[in-house]
Amino acid sequence: MIRAVVFDLDGTLIDSAPDIWHAANQVLEGEGLPLVTFEQSRSFIGRGARVFVERMELAVTGANDPVRTAHLHARFLHFYERAHENTRIYPHVTETLEQLRGQGMRLGLCTNKPLRPTEAVLKHLGWNKLFEAVIGGDSLAVAKPDPAPLLAVLGGLGMSMQDIAYIGDSETDAETAERAGARFGLYTEGYRKAAPEALFQHFRFNDYRSLPDHLSRLS
């Protein structure tokens, strides 16, 4: 029986791509480097801030230099922690989360977004007390798709893998769930690149109002 639901954040509960793009171009402009398009920036999302910066750096300079990457990463985190003015919650997310809590479900968050920007956006959205366990992309030595972050959220909730469903939007989330042996629901309106049917999943959905029914069928 499903007793808890663990969510990814960017591309799953919120659309933060516009703010991430803005933060990226603030960094690049400050360094005198070419700017990236929104489509480029969106395609870099998914494996955490460090990989985002590496992809951004490669796109605008043609190479990754470790010293420059570290500098760009530090600058990006500076802006990223403040980048939430244009972030929006996907439709029907808030009421669905409240519905799940009303049904006795416990909620966790497992994201590759670094912890400080995660905490900042949760506070901005009024969600800072919504999730009982939160693991960011830099909370551990490894990030998704390694299953360790998801396992850490389970530990924080005091749950086993059989107790939870994991909800995400991307190839990274699908791989995380498959490697962890988790039941996985794919939200199809996020930052996925592959066709939805190509990814590991137990169900997929494009409207949060249908999520409770999907979870009940899993149970």
- Burial environment of residue 35 by CB neighbours within 10 A (0 to 12, 13 to 18, 19 or more): middle
Active-site residue flag, 8? yes
Handedness of CA 88, 93, 192, 156 (dihedral sign): positive
Class of domain 17-80: mainly alpha
pLDDT band for position 82 (cuts 50, 70, 90)? confident
What is the CATH architecture assignment of 4-15+88-218? Answer: 3-Layer(aba) Sandwich (3.40)
> What is the per-residue pLDDT across 117-150, written as a single tens digit (0 to 9) for each?
999 999 999 999 999 999 999 999 999 999 999 9
Catalytic residue among 8, 138, 169, 173: 8
> What is the per-residue pLDDT across 173-185, written as a single tens digit (0 to 9) for each?
999 999 999 999 9
What confidence score (pLDDT) does residue 210 get?
A: 98
pLDDT band for position 1 (cuts 50, 70, 90)? confident
Q: Is the per-residue pLDDT at 81 higher than 90? A: no
Q: Which two tokens stand for residue 109?
A: 């968050």
What confidence score (pLDDT) does residue 83 get?
A: 81
In the chain, domain spans: 4-15+88-218, 17-80
Q: Is the per-residue pLDDT at 99 higher than 80? A: yes
44-58 as b/e: b if 16+ CB within 10 A: bbbbbbbbbbbbbbe
Give, as one character, the DSSP assignment of residue 147: S
